[in-house]
Structure 1
Amino acid sequence: MGKFYESIPPELVPWIMKQEVFWVATAPLNPEGHVNVSPKGVRDSLHIVSPTKVWYQDLTGSGVETISHLRENGRITIMFNAYDGPPRICRLFGTGSVHEFGTPEYDKLIPPENRRPGSRAAIVIDVHKVGTSCGYSVPYFEFKGHRQVLLDYFDKRERADQVDPNGHAEKGLKAYWDKENTKSIDGLPGLALAPKVERVPDCRDEMRNAEMPEGGSGTLAKTANGNGTVAATGSGVLLMKHNLRRQRMQDFVVAFALGVTVAAIFVQVVSTL
């Protein structure tokens, strides 16, 4: 049985941030236009700001459908699936806005120390409805790791722009934006500022070379939910997991020591018989 909420329930936040992939759906107004569904799978890309606002770091791809559709009509849905544990599907229905690389809004959300190679925009969604459903037909999948191909590919293109005197190399990221990301497949406008901004795309070496952290997307933050309580997001979930593992290790050590003590007492009792 499906349930609907006016905002993100606080009990769903840790589960959402744990997911290794989420799906973004948008569509043009033209009934003959192409509906788009895109998977997003890079950790630290999704952020929950409040029960009614989320955003994610949009990386460069071969198309620009989401950005184009949002510029035209703003409609967007984000979907999460449970691929292990209890079955669940969650959808965030909302209105999205695009903040391209080179805008003050982008810089505020994604400073250089948090920027991933190929990052082209911040997509901010005002959530007006949340839906959950059973997900009984979604199969189990075992997560093995994230692919690095996209990050490595656009890292090389960014480096090409950085060494080019004009900051716009033939094989650079801006040239790729110009060629692939200025219009949707239906001809709707896509990136407008990012390919032309004077600043050269760059990210800190720690983000360029960092290994994916364990256990979900997001930032080390705490956000207030609608009830005035606080829900940990992103790396906050990682911290909780770390503390849980540490507590389990401590419990194991205590149990082991207790077992050794009981065994020694047992040996002494037997030896006196």
Structure 2
Amino acid sequence: MAKFYSELTPTLQAFIQKQQIFFAASAPSQGRVNLSPKGMNTFRCLGATEVAYLDLTGSGNETSAHVAENGRLTIMFCSFAGDPLILRLYGQGEVIRPWDRTWSDRIKPFDLLPGTRQIVVLHIESVQTSCGFGVPLYEYQGDRDQLINWATQKGKAGLQEYQAQKNQVSIDGYPTGLMAED
């Protein structure tokens, strides 16, 4: 049975801290829904109504474009080990980039990783739990190192060139604001 909360309880925050994977979902007003798996210990609970994740350079930048277009963001956790549980966080997203005035404070909870491009913050409006009885059990074996190795090999200039070519607009043509440094 689904339950709704107005904020993250300490129990739910503890559940999040144990998870190795989460999913970020967003969509523009018109266009494709995006659902991205995330991991690598990049998620942080910043309080009962605010969470954030360190966003690394990837093949697209859909979440950033969608948040800029309408702000909507959902983050989901599933328990793949132990007691079953699905946790969804609904709210308004905010993207913080290295040139933003709040970057130096916002980056503090994170370990800076090669390929870091931005921080995605979720200002929580609603929290939902559901049973997760249909979610299979899986065993965590570790993080993949390919993304970190790729970003390290690219270097700062190579990452900037890649982001300029691949991360400027969503697949539906919405601007991401990634290179919009003031």
* TM-score normalised to structure 1 length: 0.64
Where does residue 254 of structure 1 map in the other structure?
none
AA in 2 matched with 1:24 = A
Larger relative strand fraction: 2
Structure number with the bigger relative contact order (C-alpha 8 A, sep ≥ 6) is 2
Larger relative helix fraction: 1
Where does residue 65 of structure 2 map in the other structure?
68
* Inter-partner Cα distance in structure 2 for 1:40 and 1:114: 15
Where does residue 151 of structure 1 map in the other structure?
148
1:192 aligns to 2:153 (yes or no): no
Where does residue 86 of structure 1 map in the other structure?
83
Q: Which residues of 2 match residues 112-131 of structure 1 at below 5 A? A: 114-131=111-128
Where does residue 23 of structure 2 map in the other structure?
23
Of structures 1 and 2, the larger Rg is shown by 1
* Deviation by residue 1:181-223 (Cα, 9 ceiling, x = unmatched): 00000000013337x68xxxxxxxxxxxxxxxxxxxxxxxxxx
Gaps spanning 5+ residues in structure 2: where? none
* Inter-partner Cα distance in structure 1 for 2:80 and 2:94: 29
Q: Which residues of 2 match residues 1-273 of structure 1 at below 5 A? A: 1-30=1-30, 33-43=31-41, 45-110=42-107, 114-158=111-155, 161=156, 168=157, 172-193=158-179
Gaps spanning 5+ residues in structure 1: where? 162-167, 198-273
AA in 1 matched with 2:132 = G
Indicate the RMSD between aligned Cα atoms, in angstroms.
Answer: 1.5
Name the SS of the counterpart of 1:91 in structure 2: strand
**Cα shift at 1:150:** 0.3
* Inter-partner Cα distance in structure 2 for 1:106 and 1:155: 22
Name the SS of the counterpart of 2:102 in structure 1: helix
What is the identity percentage for the equivalent residue pairs of Structure 1 and Structure 2?
A: 41
Structure 1 runs, 4 residues or longer, greater than 6 Å off = none
* Inter-partner Cα distance in structure 2 for 1:154 and 1:192: 17
* TM-score normalised to structure 2 length: 0.94
- The total of aligned residue pairs comes to 181
- The answer as to whether partners of 2:61 and 2:169 remain within 8 angstroms in 1 is yes
